[in-house]
Structure 1
Amino acid sequence: MDKINTGISRRRFLATTGTGALTVSAVTVGLPGTGVENTAAQAQAAMPNTKITKNICAQCPARCGIDVYTTDGRVHAIYGDTGNPIANGKGCPKMHLGTYFLYDPDRFKGPMKRTNPKKGRNEDPGFVPISWDEALDIVANRLNDLRDRGESHRFAHFYGRGWGPTDAGLYGDWGKLYGTPNSAIGHASMCAEGSKRAKQATDGNNSYNSYDYANTNYILNFGASFLEAFRPYNYLMQMWGKMRSKSPQTRITSIDVRMSPTMAASDRAVYIKPATDGAMALAVAHVILTEGLWDREFVGDFADGRNHFVTGQPIEAAVMPEPVTDPETGEVTQAAPEGSGFVELWTHGIARWWNEELKDRTPEWAEEITEVPASTIRAVAREFGTTRPAMAIMERGPTSHTNGTYAGMAIHALNALVGSLYAEKGGMFYQMGVPYGGLPVNADDYMDDWAKNGAWKDYPRIDKARTEEWPMASHMMQEAGPNHLKGDPYKMDTAMFYYTNPIWTAPNPQVWEEALKDVFIIETSPFPSETAMYADIIMPEHTYLERWQDSPTYPFEGWPMTALRVPAVEPIYDTKHFGDMLIEIGKRINGPMGDYYREIDNVENILRHRAKGFEANPGDNGVNSFESWAEKGVWYKKPYHWHHRRGKFYEWDGEGYNVEMTPEDVKAKLLKTPSGKFEFASGFLEAHADYIEREMGVPADRAGLIQWVPPVHTGGGGDLYFVSPKTPMHAEGRSGNIPHGIAIHQPIVGGKNTVYLEIHPDTGRARGIRDGDRVRITSDVASIEAYCRFMPGHRRDTIVLPMEHGHWAHGRWARGRLPGHSGDVTANVSDPISGLASYYTGKVKLERV
C-alpha cells in the first residue's frame, strides 16, 4: 500500500519532503477501486528539521554517492544518491552502516598521548587527553628535530584507502618539502597490485581497468568476487542484473577454488587448483589461435589469410618491407609483406610467444596442472572466442601468488586476442583524470636547500620499493616493518598511519608488533585499532560523515568523475580532518615549508581551488563551481574519449569519434608500452630480465614472454591450501566492531558470533573433524583456532577462512572474537614482480582441538 501510485516508499517520501522544515499541503494520493478518492491532503504540522547532505560511502573502495539524512542534528538514514552514476539511488548491505561508524561508542574522543613506554598486546597504553595544539606541537617538534639532525628520511607516512587531493594527494608535496622518500607508502602491495602490474607489462597502463559491463556478452571471470568484494560492488550488483536480463543475456563463466556467491550465480563454475589460473589462460589462448577465433582487426592475421597456428608447430613473423615516402607529396606507403608470416596490427611479439611458449600449451597440458578437464577448457575457450564482445576479468584470486603477475598477463592476453581493449562496445579501458584546478601556490617555490639537495635523497624507501630488491614494485608496505626490525636499510624514527592497520592486516603481523615497539607512532584512526594500541600520539580524524573530502572515482566506466563529501553533522567529538592534520603539522615545520602550508591554509581551501577547474569544464549535471559540487555531490563528464573500431583507434572531437589516431597518439594515450602495442613479449619485463632470472628462475632471454611459471607455496609441509577472501560485509576490515555487520558477515554458513572456517565434509571427516568442531590451523608461521562448518561446494584440498575476525583491539565487539586472525598464519612472501603479498599461496595443517 505504501508504494501504490507513488513509486516510492512512504518512509522515503516523508523523509524527502521533510527537508528544511517544509510543510506538505497539496499531495494527492488516490487508491482506485477502494472508495478512497483523490483529495488534497490537509496541511501538515511542520516537520522536524531534516536536511539531506551529499557524501560518499567509505565502507569499501566503490565510492558510491550517498544521501545522508540528518534530523535535529542526528544522522538517522543513508540512501544511495540518485544523481551519482555509481550508486544510481541504490546501496549495498554496508551502506547504512555509516551511522554505526559515526556513533560507535568506542571512538576516540580527542587527541591523546601515551604514558606507558612499554608496547605490546597486553600493555595498557595509558592514554591521557591532550589538546590539538599540544599534539601537533609534539609531532612537529619531533620532525623538526629529525630534519635538523639530517635524518628526515627516518620519518614515514603509511596509508591505506587514499581518496583524493585532500589526503593522499597531499603526500607528494609534503615529502618533497620535508625531505623523506617515505611519503607515502601505500597499501597496494597488500591489496590488488598484481593485476595492475600485469596490465603495465602488457598494455603499458599501471592501473585497474574500467569496464563496459552493460554491453558485454561474455565474462570470463578468473577469481574476481564480482558479487562479494569486487569494485565498485554496489554498481556491480546493478550491472549483474542488467547483464543477466538483457538480450542477449551476458554469459558468465567463473573460475575459482571455492563456491562463492559469484560462482553460484554464474552459467558455468570451474574449480581450479590454487595458483594455476595462468596455465588455464594459456590453454584458452592456445585454442583461440589454433581454431582461428582471434580478433583479426586488433591482433592481425597471416599474410596469406590462412591459419598457421597448429599445435606444436612454429610460425613465422611477416617480413615487412621498408615504408616508401613520396618525395613530392610526403605520402608514406607500405608495401605488402613478404611470405605468409603473421602481420600484427596492435599487438607485439605474437610469433615469438607462440613459438617459445604457446604452441605446446594445450588443454591437455593445462589439465595436468590445473585439474580442470581439457574438455572444459576447450569449451570455455570456444565460448569466449566466439562471443563478441567479451572480456576476461581477474583480481586478487589468481594474482596473490608468487607467479601472480605472469598469471595476470596470461589472463589479460585473452582480452587482446578477442579485441576487448578499447572496444567500441562491451570492452575494457582505463579511467580518465579529473580536470581539477590548481592549488593557490606551487610547492616547488617553497623548497629550501635541504629539500632540494639534502642527503635524504641518498636513502631508499624503508620498504625498498623501486630498489634493486623490488625494482618493479610501487609499494611494499608489508616489508617496512620487517626492514625496520633488521635495520635494513635503516631504522625508522617516526611513522604516521592513515586508514591502515598493518599490525593486523599485514601478512605475519606478529613481526610488526615487535618492529613498532621502538618507533614513535602517530595514529589517526577514529577507532582503537591494533596499530593505535602501539601509538605514542593519537590524533583521531573525523568519520566520513563529518568531513569535507573529494574522491575521484576508481576505474568505473572510463569517463572522468569525482564526488564530494559534505559534512552531515558538525564533528561530534574533538577530531580533525586528516588533510588538515598534515597541513597544520606542515605549518609548524621550520623554513619555507611552513610558509607553503600557511598559504594552503586548510582542506576546504584546497577543494575550492580544485573546483575552479569545473568552470571551464562543467559537468553533465551542471556542476561548475564548488557550491554546485557540494549541492549535487558529484561532477562527471561523458563520454569516454577513445575507442577501437575495425582496426583503427578514434578520438572524441566533441561531437563524435571522428578523429583517427596516429600510432604515436595511441602509444602516448592508450597502449603505453615500448612498442605502442599490446605486448605478448613485454618490454617492461625485459628491462628487468636479470632480476627476474635471479628471483624466479626464468631465463633472462624469456623473462618478457607471457608464460607459465609454477608457484612457490609456503606452509612448511601443510597439505591444505588456505585462502582468506573478503565478504560483502568486510568493509576492508572496518566492520569488525559493528554488531549488525558481524551478524550477517558470513551468510552462506552462518556465524553471528564468529567467522567459520569452511571445509569440504570429506576433508573434515578424513581428519576426525565434525561440523562445528573447534580446530587448529597451523602453518610454518604460527597456529590459530577456529570453529569449522562443512561446505561441500569447495575444493577438497582448500579451506576457506574469510578475513575479518581475530582482533585483539578495535573495540568491544571486535576484541577477542574467534577465530584467530588469518594473517597470523600467512607467511610474508610476495610476487617478485608486482610485490603483491601472496595471501592465497600458503598451505596449512588442520586438526581437531
Structure 2
Amino acid sequence: MKMILDTLLNRRRFLKATGATGAAAATTAGVGKLAGFTAASTTSTHVNARPGGETRVTKNICHQCPARCGINVYTTNGRVHAIYGDPGNPIANGKLCPKGHLGTQLLYDPDRFKGPMKRTNPNKGRDEDPEFVPISWDEAFDIVAERLNRLRERGESHRFAHFYGRGWGSSDAGLYGDFGKLYGTPNSAIGHASMCAEGSKRAKRATDGNDSYNSYDYRNTNYILNFGAGFLEAFRPYNYLMQVWGHMRTKSPKTRVTTIDVRMNPTMAASDRALMIKPGTDGALALAIAHVILTEGLWDKEFVGDFEDGRNHFRTGETIIPDAFQANWTHGLAEWWNGELKDRTPEWAEEITTIPAKHIYTVAREFATTRPAMAIMERGPTAHFNGTYNGMAVHALNALVGSMFAEGGLFYQMGPSYGPLPVSADDYMDDYAREMQGKHPRIDMAGTEKWPMAGTMMQECAKHHLAGDPYKLDTAMFFVTNPIWTAPDPRLWEEALKDVFIIDTSPYPGETAMYADIIMPEHTYLERLQDSPTYPFEGWPMAALRTPAVDPVYDTKHFGDMIIEIGKRINSPMADYYRELGDVENMLRHRAAGFANDPGDNGVNDFESWKEKGVWYKKPYHWRYWRGTFYEWDGEGYNIEMSEDEVKDKLMPTASGKFEFKSSFLENNANYIAREMGIAEDRVGLIQWVEPRHTGDGDLHFVTPKTPLHAEGRSANIPQAQAYMQPIVGGRGTCYLEIHPKTAQERGINDGDTVRLSAQVRGETKSILAVARYMPGHRPDTLVLPMEYGHWAQGRWATAQGRDMKPGHSGDLTENLSDPISGLACYYTAKVRLEKA
C-alpha cells in the first residue's frame, strides 16, 4: 500500500501529525481494487450496510461540481451512509448524477487532514517533507493574525492575498470583499474564473452587457446548437441536464441537437448531428452560419430589425447601405455585415474548420427555422487566444433567431431575496483602510493597463510575484483552489510559493498544501452550514442551504468562521466588525430574514424553514421577450410592457441598450486590443474571425476535457471515480491518452503502448508519459487526455499511478497563454509531439 506523498512525508510523522490511526488508514478492502490499485479502501459507507439505530435526514448541497444540487443525507448513529437527490430541490428533483453519491468518500477519506498544523521545515519543494506538527486552532489563528498585523503596521497589507476556487455564497466567498476593504488589500479575493470559464461570460458582456453565464429554458426549446459544451458530461447543472435531456428528446416536437466538438463524447454520440471541428475555429463556423441566416432571410426581423423596403439586401460579397437597415433590439448589424460577415461563407469556413460547406448550410437552415432555438457554448470555443471573439460569434446566433429572453431561449439568473447583514463594513473602516483603497494594483494586474478587460487573472500571479511586478507577495491564503496543480505551467507556482507564507484551508493534502506554512483544514460539505444562491439555472431566484449531516469528523472548521476569527484578531476597527458579525450561523439568520417579506414557493420564510426545506425559490422569471416587445411579470402574467430604458437597465446593459454586433465594450478598449491582438482599431468592436495562437511547437492538438466523474479536481483520490473516468474508452487504474488509430499507427504506436508527449513551455521541452488507447471517433489531428491524473500529492489513490508516472499531468505541457480580452487561460490551445516511449 502506497501512503500519500511517500517521497515527501515520513509515514510515522504524518500519521502522528494528522491524528490518523491504523484503523483509519486501512479499513475495509476492495474499493481500491475497482481502480486496479492495491491500496486499502475507505470505511464502508454503502447504503446497504444496514446500520442500526435511528436514521436522520438532513438537507445539504452537493459539492461535486458547480450545479449545486440539493441532497438528502442519511445519517445513522452519527455516520453518513447514503446520499440521494432532494425531491424538493428544483435542480435535483430527487436525482443525482454519477458522482453525487461520492460525498461519503470525501467525508471519510482517510488521507484528510485531521486538524490544524504548522510547517517546521523551512525548505519547500516536491522532495521536501513539510514536517507538519499539530497545533491548536487558537495558535493557528494567532500566527496568521500576527503576520497580518505586522504587514499592516508596515503599510504593506497589499502583500496579503486571498485565492479561491469554488466560492458558494455570503457565508464564504461573500466575506472576501469586506475583509479586503477593512484590512487594506486589493487582493481579497483573486478567483479562479480565469482558469475556468471566464471566456463565455466576457463574450456575453461584449454583446448583451451581462458579464455572466446564461440561464436556459431547455424544456421549451426546439433546437440546440452546441459548441463544445459537455452537456451530458460536465456542463452545468449536469444532474438537471441529464433529466431535461430526456424531456427534450421525447417531447413533441423533439428538440433536435447538433453538437460541434473536437472529439467524440457522450453528448456528441447522443446528438442528431455531429460536426467534428478543428480546435479553435468555432468562431469561423458561427460566422458562416450567421452569413447563411442573413443571405437567406432567415433572421428574426422583430428582434433584429429589417430593411426599410422589406427586401433582403444581404448578398455574399456585397455591402449594404447602413441607413437602409432599421434595427429594433440590435446595434451595429449593418457595420458587422459590411466589415466582416459579407465574405464569411460556408465555403470560406470549410477551409478553416474542415467541416464541409454543405453541412454548414444545412445546420444554419435548421437552426434558423426550428424555433425556439439556442446556441450554447463553453470552453471548447473560448479556451483559446481568440476565445472571446469565438464566443461572441456563437452568442450572436441567439440574437439573430430572437432567442434572447424568449420562451425556449436564454436569459440571466436572478438573485435571492436576502436580508442585510447585522452590521455594515463601511462603519468600521479606519484611516489606513481608506488610504489603501486604490493605492496598489492587484497582484494579478487585472483591471490595469496590462489586463484592462479581465476581472481576474489568477494564472498570472506566480510570474508577477517572481518578477516583483507590481510587488512580491508576503502571505497568501487558499480556499478550494490548488494552483500548483490546476494552473497552466504549474511548476512556475512551485517556484513562486517557496518564499511566500502559505495558509491552506483544504481538507485534503493537495500540492499547494504541501507548500503551506499553516494548515487550517475546513469542513467537508457534509459537515458545513452554508448558503448557496444558485448558479445560472432557469433564471428565477433560488438559494439552497447546507446543514451539517454529522458533527465534524476531525478537528476542522468552516472557512467563513476562519475569516471571522482572523478578523477579530486584527488590530483595527475591523475586529469590532467581526465581533458584531459573530459567526456564519448569525450571518445566515440575517440573510434568511429577507424571506419573511418574500416567502418561497415552498413556504420558506425564515431560517428554520430554510433548514427544514433546504431551499428557497421563487418562480417565475420576471421578464419575457415576445414578438418584438419586452414584458415584465405583474404577479399574474407578463402584462407590463417595458420601455427601451427599462430593457437597458434590467436586461441588456450595453451602451446602446441593445444586443451589439458591434461592441461598445470592445471599442472602449480599442488601443489595447489592437496592440495585443493585431486588429485594426476601427474593427475591434466587430464580431470577427481571429486566428488562434497555438503553443507547444508540436504537430498534434492537445485537449484536456472534464469527464462525468471529474469533481473539479476533488475526485483524484476517490478510487470509484478513477475506475470510471473515461466512459467512452473504459479504463481501470489509469487515465488513457485517447488517440485516433491512424495517427498512432503512423508513429508505430499500438493500442496500450506507453507514449511520450512533449511540448515547448517557456522555451524548454517538457514531457509526460501516458498509455495510448485507440479512439477512432476522434479527429486524427487531436489527442485527448482528461484532466484529472498526474497528481504528486492529494492522497494515496491520487498518487498511486505515480509509481510508473503514467499518465503525467497535462498542465505540464500547457503554456501560460491567455485570451487578452477575457483573461481565460488557453487550456485547449497546446500542440504537442507524440512518440512511442
Matches within 5 A, 1:598-747: 598-716=579-697, 718-747=698-727
Question: SS where residue 732 of structure 1 aligns?
Answer: coil
Deviation at 1:208, TM superposition (A): 0.1
The answer to whether residue 95 in structure 2 is matched with residue 115 in structure 1 is: no
The answer to whether residue 793 in structure 2 is matched with residue 788 in structure 1 is: no
2:366 & 2:438 partners in 1: Cα distance? 53
Give the equivalent residue in structure 1 for 2:23: none
Give the equivalent residue in structure 2 for 1:446: 428
Between Structure 1 and Structure 2, whose CA radius of gyration is higher? 1
1:46 & 1:685 partners in 2: Cα distance? 60
Give the equivalent residue in structure 1 for 2:817: 829
Confirm or deny: 8 A CA contact 2:316 2:343 kept in the other structure. Answer: yes
Give the equivalent residue in structure 2 for 1:19: none
* 1:684-708: CA deviation from partner (whole Å, max 9, x where unpaired): 0000000000000010100000000
Give the equivalent residue in structure 2 for 1:37: none
Confirm or deny: 8 A CA contact 1:715 1:780 kept in the other structure. Answer: yes
Matches within 5 A, 1:155-304: 155-304=160-309
The answer to whether residue 750 in structure 2 is matched with residue 770 in structure 1 is: yes
One-letter amino acid of the counterpart of residue 635, structure 1 = W
The answer to whether residue 809 in structure 2 is matched with residue 804 in structure 1 is: no
Structure 1 residues 104 and 382: alpha-carbon distance in aligned structure 2, compared to 1, 3 A threshold: same
Confirm or deny: 8 A CA contact 1:303 1:342 kept in the other structure. Answer: yes
Identity, in percent, stands at 76
Q: Which runs of 5+ in 2 are unaligned?
A: 1-49
Give the equivalent residue in structure 1 for 2:418: 436
Deviation at 1:457, TM superposition (A): 2.9
One-letter amino acid of the counterpart of residue 835, structure 2 = E
1:752 & 1:72 partners in 2: Cα distance? 34
Confirm or deny: 8 A CA contact 1:463 1:476 kept in the other structure. Answer: yes
Deviation at 1:763, TM superposition (A): 0.3
* 1:232-279: CA deviation from partner (whole Å, max 9, x where unpaired): 000000011110011100000000110011000000000111100000
Give the equivalent residue in structure 1 for 2:404: 421
Deviation at 1:673, TM superposition (A): 0.3
The answer to whether residue 763 in structure 2 is matched with residue 758 in structure 1 is: no
Give the equivalent residue in structure 1 for 2:514: 533
One-letter amino acid of the counterpart of residue 55, structure 2 = T
The answer to whether residue 454 in structure 2 is matched with residue 473 in structure 1 is: yes
1:798 & 1:826 partners in 2: Cα distance? 15
* 1:210-252: CA deviation from partner (whole Å, max 9, x where unpaired): 0000000000000001000000000000011110011100000
Deviation at 1:317, TM superposition (A): 2.5
Matches within 5 A, 1:97-136: 97-136=102-141
2:627 & 2:52 partners in 1: Cα distance? 59
Q: Which runs of 5+ in 1 are unaligned?
A: 1-44, 319-340
Question: SS where residue 615 of structure 1 aligns?
Answer: helix
One-letter amino acid of the counterpart of residue 356, structure 2 = P
One-letter amino acid of the counterpart of residue 285, structure 2 = M
2:360 & 2:829 partners in 1: Cα distance? 23
1:61 & 1:820 partners in 2: Cα distance? 26
Q: Cα RMSD (Å) of the superposition?
A: 0.9
Deviation at 1:46, TM superposition (A): 13
Structure 1 residues 480 and 46: alpha-carbon distance in aligned structure 2, compared to 1, 3 A threshold: closer
One-letter amino acid of the counterpart of residue 523, structure 2 = H
* 1:11-60: CA deviation from partner (whole Å, max 9, x where unpaired): xxxxxxxxxxxxxxxxxxxxxxxxxxxxxxxxxx9972100000000000
1:47 & 1:783 partners in 2: Cα distance? 53
Moved more, 756-765 or 816-825: 816-825
Confirm or deny: 8 A CA contact 2:51 2:76 kept in the other structure. Answer: no
Give the equivalent residue in structure 2 for 1:844: 832
Give the equivalent residue in structure 2 for 1:13: none
1:749 paired residue among 729, 737, 746: 729
1:357 & 1:746 partners in 2: Cα distance? 40
Deviation at 1:145, TM superposition (A): 0.3
Confirm or deny: 8 A CA contact 1:167 1:578 kept in the other structure. Answer: yes
Deviation at 1:816, TM superposition (A): 4.6
One-letter amino acid of the counterpart of residue 400, structure 2 = L
1:376 paired residue among 355, 359, 367: 359
Give the equivalent residue in structure 2 for 1:5: none
2:179 & 2:807 partners in 1: Cα distance? 40
Confirm or deny: 8 A CA contact 1:180 1:457 kept in the other structure. Answer: no
Confirm or deny: 8 A CA contact 2:702 2:830 kept in the other structure. Answer: yes
2:737 & 2:542 partners in 1: Cα distance? 40
Deviation at 1:746, TM superposition (A): 1.2
1:94 paired residue among 85, 90, 99: 99
Deviation at 1:482, TM superposition (A): 1.2
Question: SS where residue 573 of structure 1 aligns?
Answer: coil
Confirm or deny: 8 A CA contact 2:265 2:728 kept in the other structure. Answer: no
Give the equivalent residue in structure 2 for 1:331: none
Confirm or deny: 8 A CA contact 1:779 1:844 kept in the other structure. Answer: yes
* 1:67-112: CA deviation from partner (whole Å, max 9, x where unpaired): 0000111000000000000000000000110000100000000000
One-letter amino acid of the counterpart of residue 679, structure 1 = E
2:455 & 2:756 partners in 1: Cα distance? 36
One-letter amino acid of the counterpart of residue 96, structure 2 = G
Give the equivalent residue in structure 2 for 1:23: none
1:383 & 1:519 partners in 2: Cα distance? 56
Question: SS where residue 138 of structure 1 aligns?
Answer: helix
Question: SS where residue 502 of structure 2 aligns?
Answer: strand
1:453 & 1:783 partners in 2: Cα distance? 48
Give the equivalent residue in structure 2 for 1:152: 157
- TM-score, normalised by the number of residues in structure 2: 0.93
* 1:297-343: CA deviation from partner (whole Å, max 9, x where unpaired): 1001111111111111111223xxxxxxxxxxxxxxxxxxxxxx111
One-letter amino acid of the counterpart of residue 612, structure 2 = E
* 1:751-798: CA deviation from partner (whole Å, max 9, x where unpaired): 210100000000000001110000000010211100010000000000
2:141 & 2:680 partners in 1: Cα distance? 53
One-letter amino acid of the counterpart of residue 514, structure 1 = E
2:278 & 2:435 partners in 1: Cα distance? 52
Confirm or deny: 8 A CA contact 1:806 1:816 kept in the other structure. Answer: no
Confirm or deny: 8 A CA contact 2:91 2:239 kept in the other structure. Answer: yes
Confirm or deny: 8 A CA contact 2:64 2:714 kept in the other structure. Answer: yes
1:406 paired residue among 389, 395, 400: 389
Give the equivalent residue in structure 2 for 1:568: 549
Confirm or deny: 8 A CA contact 1:462 1:483 kept in the other structure. Answer: yes
Deviation at 1:747, TM superposition (A): 2.1
Give the equivalent residue in structure 1 for 2:61: 56
Question: SS where residue 612 of structure 2 aligns?
Answer: helix
One-letter amino acid of the counterpart of residue 288, structure 2 = A
One-letter amino acid of the counterpart of residue 345, structure 1 = N
1:592 paired residue among 573, 589, 594: 573
Question: SS where residue 156 of structure 1 aligns?
Answer: strand
* 1:609-635: CA deviation from partner (whole Å, max 9, x where unpaired): 000000000000000000000000000
Moved more, 513-522 or 481-490: 481-490
Confirm or deny: 8 A CA contact 1:179 1:457 kept in the other structure. Answer: no
2:596 & 2:609 partners in 1: Cα distance? 11
Confirm or deny: 8 A CA contact 1:181 1:460 kept in the other structure. Answer: yes
Structure 1 residues 47 and 121: alpha-carbon distance in aligned structure 2, compared to 1, 3 A threshold: closer
One-letter amino acid of the counterpart of residue 777, structure 1 = L
